[in-house]
Amino acid sequence: MIQLFNVTKSYGGEIPAVKDLSLQIPKGDFVYVTGASGAGKTTFLRMLYAAERPSRGQILINRQNVTRIRAPQIPYLRRKIGVVFQDFKLLQSRTVYENVAFALEAQGKKRYEVSKKVYQALKEVGLEHRLQRKPLELSGGEQQRIAIARALVVDPLILLADEPSGNLDQAVTLEIMELFKKANARGTTVLLATHDHSLNQQFPRRVITLDKGRLVADQQPHQG
């Protein structure tokens, strides 16, 4: 599903953000991407949805070479990828419904289909009763669940989450992890960047650890 071959990303400084990274993530996997601040987690995720281009190396997603993709093809790549950001990136002037519908409308879906899928996605995250609210009328946890609904409404092959629990309390974090688990159980490949080691203790999964852009550990969950 996701393959990286000797990927390096430099911004002109002495130390690359990502250095000689090679790994494979099979379809349906759930992977934590860990490491200290500045380890390269965000850059790694951004390269997967072509927000950044690697300086060297190759990235394949579903056998498509993302490093060679042309700008007009990027929106089509992103139709397969849901992204959840730490700061939500919701459109503050739009309602909850409009925020989630936006991803489907960009794909040219018919209005009745958009309506049906948005309601289902919001029901999945327990916020179908907040359709007409604006993001700033909601709590941080509710805003993050809206962001997750927006990411999942397109039925993505891959879900990328960058520190999704960074600003949230423990109870809300557990609710959000349950949403990621359910998406993964339906077959979505999940990559979750986090520095919260307690998540892996409560929800053991494969852990990839980066340090100064390099892959320093790749651990499978303990069985038993």
Whether 142 and 111 have beta carbons less than 8 Å apart is answered as: no
Q: Quote the pLDDT of residue 223.
A: 58
Q: Please state, in angstroms and rounded to a whole number, the distance separating the CA atoms of residues 26 and 3.
A: 9
pTM of the model: 0.93
Q: Please state, in angstroms and rounded to a whole number, the distance separating the CA atoms of residues 117 and 151.
A: 12
Q: Quote the pLDDT of residue 195.
A: 86
Q: Which amino acid is at 121?
A: A
**Residue 201 neighbours by CB under 8 Å, 6+ apart:** none
How far apart, in Å, are the Cα atoms of 141 and each of 6, 97, 175, 203?
A: 37, 17, 9, 19
pLDDT in tens, 132-165: 999 999 998 999 999 999 999 999 999 999 998 8
Q: Please state, in angstroms and rounded to a whole number, the distance separating the CA atoms of residues 96 and 62.
A: 31
pLDDT in tens, 93-130: 999 999 999 989 988 899 999 999 999 999 999 999 99
Mode of pairing for the β-strands spanning 56-61 and 158-162: unpaired
Q: Quote the pLDDT of residue 61.
A: 95
Helix 140-152 with 111-124: angle, nearest 10 deg: 130
Mean pLDDT score of the chain: 92
Whether 188 and 159 have beta carbons less than 8 Å apart is answered as: yes
Whether 193 and 33 have beta carbons less than 8 Å apart is answered as: yes
In degrees, to the nearest 5, what angle opens at C-alpha 120 toward C-alphas 115 and 126?
125
Region 213-224: mean pLDDT is 85
- How sure is the predictor about 224, in pLDDT bands with cuts at 50, 70 and 90? very low
pLDDT in tens, 171-185: 888 989 999 999 999
pLDDT in tens, 1-35: 899 999 999 988 778 999 999 999 999 999 999 99
